[in-house]
Amino acid sequence: MKMRSFQVCQCGAPLQMNEAEAPKPQGTQVLLKMLAAGVCHSDLHIWDGYYEIGGGKKLMLADRGIKLPLTMGHENVGEVVAMGPDAKGVKVGDVRLVNPWMGCGTCKVCQRGDENLCLKPQNVGVFDQGGYATHMLVPSHRHLFDIGDLKPEIAAPLACSGVTAFSALKKVPTLQDEAVVIIGAGGVGLMGVTLAKKMGAKDIIIVDIDPAKREAALQAGATRAIDGAAPDAVKQIHAATGGGAWAVIDFVGSSQTANLAIGAIVKGGTVVVVGLFGGDVTVPTPFLPLRAMTLRGSYVGSHGEIAELLDLVNRTGMPQVPIRTRALDEVGAALDDLRAGKVVGRVVLTPAG
């Protein structure tokens, strides 16, 4: 069986198509034929080889153990075509979502179910070969989830943008009682809006600098929209929330958005930073106690949260995020469009487009 992969062979250079024999699964491994692979903003960082961390400094991904050539793609749904002798709970023909946030599987953190926080991450599409390919080898059946009645291209983004948004929303204690402010209506932010609604949020305020993205968020269920580029954006959030927001989720993560989020919360409020745009913030330490502020990060999601999210979506319907499918061969163009800010919602690669 031939396998085609679109790989990063050099940071920032165009992906290269490589053809090889598909691997034969050993042990608990499962070989999938790819049905859908979502194109995520973090692929741009992986492709470039670094994250901006403010003050002109870069966090180099090579230092985190990322090796080339690498097949990116971490939002994957595929059909089981072969498995090793120890793979359990799946059979040929099953359609499965891959939880890409894999840890070592044996440490305390992994045993607790938080593989996404393992200190030895083995995430597919980041540290190991991902889904921008015709096939993908998954190390163990335990990373596979039944998608129920969902279509592969709808389910695929749940593995990253879905669970990232879901996990961030779960860190908001006042989600059902108070307005929640969501900064950034890109792929993850829009997912956040639609999931917040499903999780019982009644008042969702979207903040984005792009009118088209604000409109998409309103379509997806946001109740109000504020232009993040407005010089009085903080004031507008205070006015909209009656004195400050109880929770702001920053899906951008730039200096500007994180400062906006910190300025927008009320005493006792929570800021959850999710986006990896890059930048830095300075908070006077007395503000932490005096404003009783919670400033925290959220990184993807746990095994249990993926299961919970799939259950939620199967019960309450598909997230209303615009999804555009493109052929796997167009992965380079899809990444270029994402970098140019031309994508509203999510692009998902499928074999036929």
Site residues (vs Zn ion, CB under 5 A): 40, 42, 103-104, 107, 110, 118, 160
Closest CB to Zn ion among 35 and 225?
35
Nearer to Zn ion by C-beta: 96 or 303?
Answer: 303
Shortest reach from residue 325's CB to Zn ion, in Å: 17
Nearer to Zn ion, 103 or 345 (CB): 103
Q: To the nearest whole angstrom, how small is the minimum distance from the Cβ of residue 40 to Zn ion?
A: 3
- Picking from 225, 223, 154, 224, the residue whose alpha carbon sits closest to that of residue 191 is 154
Structure tokens that stand for 282 in this block: 């300075």
- 76 or 241: whose CB is closer to Zn ion? 76
CB of 242 to Zn ion, least distance (A): 35
**DSSP-derived pairing of the beta strands 204-208 and 224-227:** parallel
| Cα-based angle 336, 342, 348 (whole degrees, multiple of 5) | 70
Q: Tell me how far, at minimum, the Cβ of 171 lies from Zn ion, in Å.
A: 18
Q: Whole-angstrom Cα distance, residue 118 to residue 107? A: 8
**What does DSSP say about strands 144-146 and 95-98: parallel, antiparallel, or unpaired?**
antiparallel
Shortest separation between residue 135's beta carbon and Zn ion, angstroms: 20
Cβ proximity to Zn ion, 112 vs 342, nearer residue: 112
The answer, yes or no, to whether the previous bond of 69 is cis (omega within 30 of 0) is yes
Q: State how far the alpha carbon of 129 is from the alpha carbons of 79, 98, 133, 322, 328, in Å.
A: 17, 12, 9, 27, 15
Strand partners, 21: 2
Q: Residue 137 or 160: which CB sits closer to Zn ion?
A: 160
- Least gap, CB of 275 to Zn ion (angstroms): 11
**How far is 153 from 351, CA to CA, in rounded Å?**
11
What amino acid occupies position 259? N
Please say whether the dihedral angle defined by the alpha carbons of residues 101, 106, 108 and 112, taken in this order, is positive or negative. Answer: positive
**DSSP secondary-structure letter at 21?**
E
